[in-house]
Structure 1
Amino acid sequence: MSLAAVSPPGNPATSFVLRCLLDMPLSPPATEISDSIVDLARHHMIAGLVLERIASLKGTPRTDDLAEKLRKPAQRTATKSLRILDAWNRLYVDHLKPSGLRHLVVKGIALDSRYRGSIGARGCRDLDVLLSLRDIDVLLPQLLEDGYNLTTTFSRPSDRVSLSDHMRILTRLSPEVEVVSPQGVLIELHSSLDLSGTAFPTDQWLGRAVQASIGSLSIPTPPTADHFVYLCYHHSRHEWSRLHWLSDLHLLMTHPSFDPEEVRAQARVAGLSRLVTACMELPDRIRDSLENQPEVPGNSMARDLTALCLNYARPAITPPEQGRLSATTPPLERFKSLSWIFCLDWRIRDRRRDRLRLIMNALRPKLADYQTWPLALAWTPIYWIYRPIRFVLRLF
């Protein structure tokens, strides 16, 4: 994976938003770019963060007008985050606590509760909960009985497969299962946080949980070093296509609990040292770009991640996950896109054995194999033969 040299964002609205996220000095923006700033804030789910930041400029007509335009999208972001927090509380009180299921909340409200002390400034799409595979097997039937529903992607593809078989097949073929709460909140139940299965061992992570308080609630979250390394991995695999991920990085790196040496040690354990080193350079590289400073030579991965972040800062650029999942994407183009992300995932791994596991993972049966050819649980080993055949056929 190699990209062109990093170039400064040419759009003044993009520059203003990036300055907000990185706590850089601000000047009141020109009136004609206020709508572009609002569009950027909506697209990247950062309306609340930008609104908070421009409070330091309050008192000028230009910033007052911008603040008024940002207020509604910021309120929508906050409302959704509060609904997600409520969904976690209901899940915990009704199911996780009574069943004694160890769990962690990652990203989203976990970051807000531990590092911001308030909910709503950063946009959240869903609730991410990490549990052991055996505990998801316990939890999933309870949720379906209690009015939760599987999303379309994870719904039963055939009535010939029993519901009990279907639930066990889901947890064996996918590292996460998506359900929607009775209140309409999307919840992802993760049994693993990475494709190799070794960077973030689930049982070890659950054993290192720390509590984050928000109001009267206490949310189990990963320690800062664990969470930071995972954010570097997750956001890089999604090609830094949303700016609220850049705000996550800056938030943790400026928090009192952030210890660079502890982070580097955890990165070595995860086999992601080069990636984490590159991500730790990312905020400063973007600052240099905004200030038209010469590009720092040496770390090609940091340069490439910076280029990705600045490229996707523009709403006109389709986020990579949308392009890959679009039903209208030609198979060859989708293959090229998936090959790109595989090469990226390959590059960020330090250890050869982790790279080998990536190849093995590509050959493992996937949820899509089951969806195209639904089989009962006892017959699912056939997918080990079916998957490579299906993979080849999709290329032609």
Structure 2
Amino acid sequence: MLLLFSRLELDDAQAEMAMSLCEEMKDWEAFRQIATHRFVLPIAYRHLRRLQPASLSAEQMAKMRHQVMSYYQHDLNVMVSLREVIQQLLRPLNIPYVTFKGPSLAARYYDEPAMRFSRDIDILVPRERMPELLALALAEGYRPLDPPELANNPISLAFVARYQKVVTLQSPRGIDVEFHSRIDNIGTVYDSRSLIDKAELMRVGNADVAVLPHDELFVYICWHHTKHFWSHLHWLVDIDAMQRHPSFDREGVLACADRHELKITVEACLKMAEVLSSPDFDFHCHTDARVDELLTLALEAMQGDIKLEHELANRKPTPDFAFHWQTDRRHRLRWQLLGWLRIFRPSYADYSEWPLPPRWHWLYRPLRPWRESVRRWSQSRH
């Protein structure tokens, strides 16, 4: 039933099947908890409010409504925080950026943006502008979360901008904001500066926000969610909402995917969404082994937890691709080389424990394996 509910609207066949499943529902409390865990309680509540199944008690309906109202409050807080990040940090410094996922996606493609739960805010900025952005944010009361010990001084901020691709701060309103300098692991899937240059302005609340073009965002969503095995059901709502939008152009999306060498990934995601939209979907109603593998692991991940997702991640050929058929041998070999070299990449913890002036930062690399071994040995003793 949650798979059926993971879309903005139900057609007649889907609604009929949903009502049939509602009649079989024995534990609505368990349903509410799973919908919460998979981030689709708001959209599930909307469908149930329209269907009004007799098996759903007024007490359970009220409990869902109360929880959904708390999500509405959180999402409003996220929207306001996004506006404040833009108006208080990015615009005063004239930093180019693009925001993706979360609140801007909800405002753009959902008829009711509050239906899309957003945990945090994701913003891509040029790496060279990261130190001044972080300095202003920390001065304005943002709290560092990753790295938690981030200090507001030029050397510290230059170090973290150079060696950490995502820095997470918590806004004064308590909303996590992830500042990205890259949205893939080694920069072979996406060129950050090119994405920022393609940004379009759209109205989110009462602020103009830079977002990705429709085709670019759809391709990114398919790639990103596949990387995480579609483990959250609200990602299915995302792909449904985007396909329903008047801007959706399937041929344009596939052409964009082809430019990023992601066409196979996008085609598999489109087929998966089509299969899951069927009221009585059949795992093997197609002949594409890639779609079968995607469906199998996605449905496994949707029912698992973060531990299972980590176990699945260990099978990935590279951190950027969940399946071998998504990429080629050239990319995998490049990651194997760079992955091996990453053991020499210093972390902010290295700098925090042993702060060196910039001219000596090269020492972190040769000493990194030894320092990491000492750190792990020390932790194991405690």
**TM-score, L = length of structure 2:** 0.84
Give the corresponding residue for 2:173. Answer: 183
Contact 2:149–2:352 (CA<8 Å) still a contact in 1?
no
Q: Which residue is 2:19 aligned to?
A: 27
One-letter amino acid of the structure 2 residue matched with residue 359 of structure 1: Q
Distance verdict in 2 for CA 1:275–1:150, change over 3 Å: same
1:318 counterpart residue number = 305
Give the counterpart of 1:237 among 227, 232, 252: 227
On the 8 A contact 2:317/2:332 being kept in 1, the answer is no
Residues 1:370 and 2:311 aligned together: no
State which drifts further: 73-82 or 125-134. Answer: 73-82
* Amino acid across the alignment from 2:315: W
Q: What's the % identity of the aligned pairs?
A: 23
Q: How far apart in 2 are the matches of 1:83 and 1:162?
A: 26
**5+ residue gaps, structure 2:** none
- C-alpha deviation, 1:199, in angstroms: 2.0
Q: Residue 130 of structure 1: CA displacement?
A: 0.9
Q: Tell me, yes or no, if the aligned pair for 1:118 and 1:214 is still in contact at 8 Å.
A: no
CA distance 1:294–1:62, shift in 2 (3 Å): same
What SS class does the counterpart of residue 45 from structure 1 fall into?
coil
Q: Once superposed, what is the RMSD of the aligned Cα atoms?
A: 2.9
Cα drift, residue 391 of structure 1: 7.8
Give the structure 2 partner of residue 305 of structure 1.
294
The equivalences for 1:205-284 within 5 A come to 205-284=195-274
- Tell me the SS of whatever aligns to 2:56: helix
- Deviates most, 137-146 or 195-204: 195-204
1:381 aligns with 2:362: yes
Closer, same or farther: CA 263–39 of 1 in aligned 2, 3 Å: same
Q: Is the 8 A contact 1:156 1:163 kept in 2?
A: no
Corresponding residue for 1:341? 316
244 and 59 in structure 1: CA distance in 2 versus 1, 3 angstrom threshold: closer
Instruction: State the secondary structure of the residue aligned to 1:295.
Output: coil
Q: How big is the shift at 1:150?
A: 0.8
Q: Aligned partners of 2:199 and 2:288: how far apart in 1?
A: 33
Establish whether residue 78 from structure 1 lines up as the match of residue 58 from structure 2.
no
Provide TM-score, normalisation by structure 1: 0.81
**Contact 1:174 1:366 (8 Å CA) reproduced:** no
Q: Does 1:57 align with 2:51?
A: yes
Write the letter of the residue equivalent to 1:173.
Y
User: How far 1:186 sits from its partner (Å)?
Assistant: 0.6
Larger RCO of the pair (alpha carbons < 8 Å, separation 6+) = 1
Give me the whole-angstrom Cα distance separating, in 1, the residues matched to 2:299 and 2:94: 44
For the 8 Å contact 1:130–1:190, the answer to whether it is kept is: yes
Report deviation, 1:42: 0.9
Does the aligned pair in 2 maintain the 1:122–1:244 contact within 8 Å?
Answer: yes
The question of whether the paired residues in 1 share the 8 Å contact of 2:160 and 2:348 is answered with no
SS in 2 for 1:74: helix
